[in-house]
Structure 1
Amino acid sequence: MPVTRSSGSTRRTPSSSSHNLQIIGAPSGSTRPVTPAAYIQLQPAPSPFTLHAQPVINRTKQKQRAIPPPTNSEVIEISSDEEDLPQPPRRAVAPASSKSTDTRKEVRKLKDSNAALTLKLKSLQSELEAQKEKTRVLENTQKRNGGKDEIILDPSEVEDIVACGICTHPMLVPFILPGCGHTFCQKCLTGWFDTTLRNFIVAHPNYIPNNPMPGMQHMAFLMNNPANVGRL
């Protein structure tokens, strides 16, 4: 049969044999019965120095603990599209000896160019000094003339210009040769042409001055009568 609870069961009440507990903080020697339900364990009051005390945490150790240990996971390589593109060809690097040789050549060229420019500068400076001297002479001449437009020159200054190249005397009657533009005096030109003709006759005794050369008459006729050229 199943066990049944009897209705006549009585409520358990604390007996007089309850333990006599000593209340902490009560005067010594005093005891009174205290039930277990009403018992409160008293703890000593905390010290004021320990109320606000916080545990010191080592941040270095905390960081070390926060970093997870390396795992043996696979490494994924990220490739770029630029690796597939063809790389431009690299230029061959010249050795140091060839570079020094090229540098020496460039220095030599610069020195030669500098020397040429220095000579040209000296030449231009000399020309400038000559022009300054001519300008100074003209200014002095103009001062002697009293500022007039006419310039009076010293005969010694124009002696080389008016002298004949054959007799070296002043050309009283100058003549200009049309072929070359040289200027000589009339007496020298006449004597020079006479001497040339005389030497030619000596070298060619059969030459007749008043008779043209053979064939020249026929050529002169054609030049004077161009209409007869087609009849030949």
Structure 2
Amino acid sequence: MPPDRARNADVLDLTITQKHHSLTNHLIHTKKRKEKENRPTVTHTTEVIEISSDEDEEPVPPPPRTPKKGAPPTPNERARLLLTALEKKFRALEQEKKQLEAQVNCLRQENAEFRAKGTVHLNNDDVDEHILCEVCSLTMWTPYVLTCGHAFCGSCLESWFDRALRDWASRYPQFPPHVLQAAHIARYGIPPPQYLCPKCRTAVSSKPTQDFTLKGLVGTIAKAKGEAKPGAKETSFRKYFDS
């Protein structure tokens, strides 16, 4: 073989060999790329955990849901409405409690002032109802109690019984005055005179008795009102009653 042809054959073989290697490398790279594409992708994510303190932040409640118009309230909505009503009533009771406490404190202060002064304020009308005689409308300095329980001045009762005795004696003009005495009328068969209570008209069956407890109370109240005790007058009911 001539030298030129042999040289060309060597060059051709080298070219073919290079192309073969290049094609082989291309096929290998293509296969690897396809395998890489078909391989499942693993995504590495970094999770960030946020740590918060309950003391610094409070959970935000979800906004209340607005019910549809005309729709019945849900159990949660009914509970919320009931809780709102109870809270409103509780606030009203708290306000009323404060007002009552203020009134009690005011009354306690007034009571303490009255005690410090040592005075007692009484309604004159209520007091007069118990210490005034219902016959003469004056203070009962010497109160006498009848069997029915009503009390009057001794002098008023004496005048009241004396008038009843005169009316009774006028029915028996044929008897002298000394006969018409409580100790003698039974001997002559004369019905005794009847004495009645000036207030309730109950028959008085025994001699009135002086009420010393009421007498002391009347005297104390009358002196506190600035009244002076009149002169004492002895009262006797012997001529009206046997005992």
TM-score (norm 1): 0.28
Higher-helix-fraction structure: 2
- Structure number with larger C-alpha Rg: 1
Of structures 1 and 2, the one with the larger relative CO (CA 8 A, separation 6+) is 2
